[in-house]
Structure 1
Amino acid sequence: MPVATERSAARRVREPGTPPRSLVALASFALAAGTGTALWLLPSGVDERPGPPGHSPASGVAAPPPTASPVPRPVTSPAPRRVSRPSGFVTFVDAGRDPLFELPRAAGRDRVRWFTLGHLTAGTDGCTPGWDGHGQRRGDPVADRLGRLRAAGGEAGLAFGGPSGRELAAACADTGRLTEAYRRAVRSFGAGHIDFEIRGPVDEATVLRRADAIATLQREAAAEGRPLTVSFTLPAGRTGLTRDDQTMLRATRRRGAEISAVNLLVPIRGASVGGSRLRPIASAVQAAHPQITRSLGTATGWRGIALSPVLAGAGDLSSADARRLVAFTTRNRMAWLSTRGASPSSGVTRVLAGAAR
C-alpha cells in the first residue's frame, strides 16, 4: 500500500497521459456497479460463432452441433481484466451458502489476493448456471463486491461443478447453449480464470462438450487479447488421480482446450500414532505428479499442480501444519495452495497466505 507522503506526491505530479484521479475513481465505481448487475441466475442461450472441430482424434466421437439462433450479449458486463492464473494462497468462497461474503474485507484481514467463487451448477433448465443451481432476482451480492476487490488489487475466478448439483456440461446436451452459458458467466463476472470441479466419473459425450466449449472460449479470449486460464479440481488419494480423471484430462487437451493446472483435493485425516496427518497429502501429490504430466502432454512440472486439502473442521489444520504446507508448495514451486470444506481459522489463513506468489 502507498504511504501518505506518496499519495501527496501523486496529487502534485501526474505523468503525461495519466488520467486524473477523479476519472480513475469514476472508472472504479463504474466497474463495481457493472459487476454488481451480474445475476445469480445467468441467462442461457446460444451463439452464432462457429464451434470447434466436431471430430476427436482420441475417440472419434463427434460433438453435437451448436444451435444457430443467437442471443444478444449482456449489455452490463464489465470488461474482462488482464489477469494471470491464481497464485499464492487462494481462498475458496462458497457463494451459494455465503452470498454476503465480504471479499474486500477478507482480502485485507487475511492478506489474501486470490479468491475462487463457487459453485456454479446447472439450474432447472439444465443450461443456465447459478450458485448451487439457484438464482436470485435482484442481482448477485458477491458480484457487488468484485469491483472493490479488484480496485484493491485482488482477483477472483469462477468454479463450475462441485460436490452437489450437476455441472453444466452434464446437464446441457447442446454444445452451443453450453458454450454460451459459460461465456455469459465469464463475461458477467469479468473472470480471467475458470475452474471445473469434477466429482465422480462422467460420460464421454459430457467430456467432449465441455472440452469443445472451453476451446471455443479460449480462442475467443485470445482473439480479443485477454486471458482465460482453465484449471480442473479433482480428488486425489494415495495412488493419485483416478483412471477416469486422467482419461478426461487427455480428451480435453486433445480437443483443443489448454489446461493450466490441476488442483488436487486431498482430505486431511487423523494421523496414526507417531505419524503426520500431512503425509497422505504429500503421497497423493507425488503419485499424481507423473499422471498429470502425461495427461496434459507437456512437461508442466510442479507448476501445473495446485493443492487443496479438504478440512472436516477448522481444527483439522494447525498453524504448524499450515507452515509445513506452505514450505512444501513453495519448495516444489506448485501453482497455488487452497483449502476446501471447513474454513481454517483466521490465524491459520494468514500463515497459508504466506505461500509464495
Structure 2
Amino acid sequence: MPTATARPAARHAREPGTPPRSLVALAAILLAATTGAAVWLLPAEADEWAGPARAARPERLGAATAPPAGRPAAERVADSGAAAPAAGGPSGFVTFVDAARTPLFGLPSAADPQDGARWFALGHLTAGRDGCTLRWGGRQGQGGDPVPGRLDRLRAAGGVAGLVFGGPTGRELSGACAVPATLTAAYRKAVGDFGAAYLDFEVQDSADDETVLRRAEAITALQEEAREGGRSLAVGFTLPATETGLAPRDQMMLRATREAGVRISVVNLLVPIRPASAGQSRLRPVASAVRAARPQVAEALAEPVTEGRIALTSVLAGPESLSPADARKMVAFAARNHLAWLSTRGAAPDPEVVRLLSAPPL
C-alpha cells in the first residue's frame, strides 16, 4: 500500500513560500467580481449623433503620419482637431438651387449681408444638343439665360454662388464633348459668365476612363489659369454614398482625377434619408456612410486626414424627412466630424430646418 499513500501526499505537497490553494481560489473569485463590477459601471457606447466628439486621428495611407511636406499651412489640420476649410470653397450650409427647373429662382432669405456671405450651388449644367455647349438641364433657355442677372442680385444680397455640372439627368459635358480644347473653353466660359466661386461635378460616368481623364485635364488647365491670375478655383465632386461608403469606381475616379493634377477641395457625399424601423434612428445610415467614406476619400486624395475634405448632402423624399431635432443633431455631427459643409437635395426642407442647418454649432 505504500504507492497508494505516496500519491495523495505528493498531490498535497507545495513549494516553500507558495500560498495555500484555498487562498489562491479566494483571490481569483475576488478578482473576477471586481472586474465584473468595473465593466458593469463603464458607460454604454454613445449615440453617434448625440455623444461627445471622438478624438480626431489621422487616416493612414501606408505609413504616412503627417501632412505631405510643402502643403500650405492653411490647408493643414490644426493641432486642436478643427477642420481646415477647403481653400475658396463653401462652408457652413450650402443652398442648392435647381436653376434647370426654375431659372427665375427667388432670392433665398439666407443671403443676408448682416450674417455674412451665404453659399449657393446652382445646377445642373449639362451638355446641350450640340454636345459641347452647356445648358441648364441640357435645354436651351428661352429668350436668353436669366440666371446671370439673378446671380448679380444674389451677390448684392451677400450670397456666393457656385456651379454644379452633371447630375442625375443629361450628360456631363466631358462625356459629350470629345475635343479637349473645346471642353476647356466651355468650362471657362461658364466660370466667367456666372462668376462662379467654385465648381462641383456630380458625375455619373466614373467608369468611363476617357471621360474622367478628359474632364481632369480641363479642370487642371482652369485651376492653373486661376493660379497664374492670382485666384483660386475650388473644385469638388458630389458622389452617392451608402453605409459602405463610396462605390469602387468612384474611388478610382477621384484617384485618377487627383493624379492628373486636379486639386480636389472636397468630396460631397450624397446620402438619402429613408424611414427607419421602430426604435432606430434614420440618421444612423448617414453617419455610417460618412465613417465608411472617410478612409476611402483619404486614400483617393492621398491625404493622411480628411478633416474639412468631406461634405454631406442629405437627399430628402419630403419635408418630413428631416425634422428640426434631426437638423440640430446633424449640425453637431458635422462639427464633431469636421465636415466641410452641409446641404440638402430633393424635396425642400422645412424653413425651420434650413435655419437650424444654417446656424453655426453651439
- Interval of TM-score (by shorter of Structure 1 and Structure 2): 0.7 to 0.9
**Aligned pair 1:85/2:112, yes or no?**
no
Alignment check: 8 A CA contact 1:337 1:355 kept: no
The partner residue of 2:292 within 287, 298, 305 is: 287
Show the counterpart of 1:224.
229
Show the counterpart of 2:187.
182
CA distance in 2 between counterparts of 1:124 and 1:318 reads 41
Instruction: Give the partner amino acid of 1:186.
Output: V
- Secondary structure, aligned partner of 1:120: strand
Show the counterpart of 2:143.
138
- Structure 1's 91 and 204: CA in aligned 2 closer, same or farther, altered over 3 A? same
Instruction: Give the partner amino acid of 1:237.
Output: T
Alignment check: 8 A CA contact 2:112 2:159 kept: no
Matches within 5 A, 1:78-227: 84-103=88-107, 105-108=109-112, 113-199=118-204, 201-227=206-232
State the 4+ residue runs in structure 1 displaced beyond 6 angstroms: 109-112
Alignment check: 8 A CA contact 2:132 2:177 kept: yes
**C-alpha displacement at 1:94, in angstroms?**
0.5
- Secondary structure, aligned partner of 2:251: helix
Percent of residue pairs identical: 60
Show the counterpart of 2:272.
267
**C-alpha displacement at 1:151, in angstroms?**
2.4
- Secondary structure, aligned partner of 2:120: strand
The structure having more radius of gyration, on CA atoms, is 2
**C-alpha displacement at 1:138, in angstroms?**
3.1
**C-alpha displacement at 1:137, in angstroms?**
4.5
For structure 2, the residue ranges without an aligned partner over 5 or more in a row are: 1-86
**C-alpha displacement at 1:89, in angstroms?**
0.4
- Structure 1's 174 and 216: CA in aligned 2 closer, same or farther, altered over 3 A? same
Choose 237-246 or 134-143, whichever is displaced more.
134-143
- Structure 1's 169 and 107: CA in aligned 2 closer, same or farther, altered over 3 A? same
Instruction: Give the partner amino acid of 2:224.
Output: R
**Aligned pair 1:296/2:280, yes or no?**
no
Instruction: Give the partner amino acid of 1:225.
Output: G
- Secondary structure, aligned partner of 1:115: strand
The partner residue of 1:350 within 346, 352, 355 is: 355
Q: CA RMSD in A?
A: 1.9
Paired positions, count: 275
- Secondary structure, aligned partner of 2:307: helix
CA distance in 2 between counterparts of 1:317 and 1:335 reads 20
For structure 1, the residue ranges without an aligned partner over 5 or more in a row are: 1-82
Name the TM-score, length of structure 1 as normaliser.
0.74
CA distance in 2 between counterparts of 1:190 and 1:352 reads 26
The partner residue of 1:246 within 245, 251, 255 is: 251
**C-alpha displacement at 1:298, in angstroms?**
1.6
- Structure 1's 336 and 243: CA in aligned 2 closer, same or farther, altered over 3 A? same
**Aligned pair 1:306/2:311, yes or no?**
yes
**C-alpha displacement at 1:135, in angstroms?**
1.7
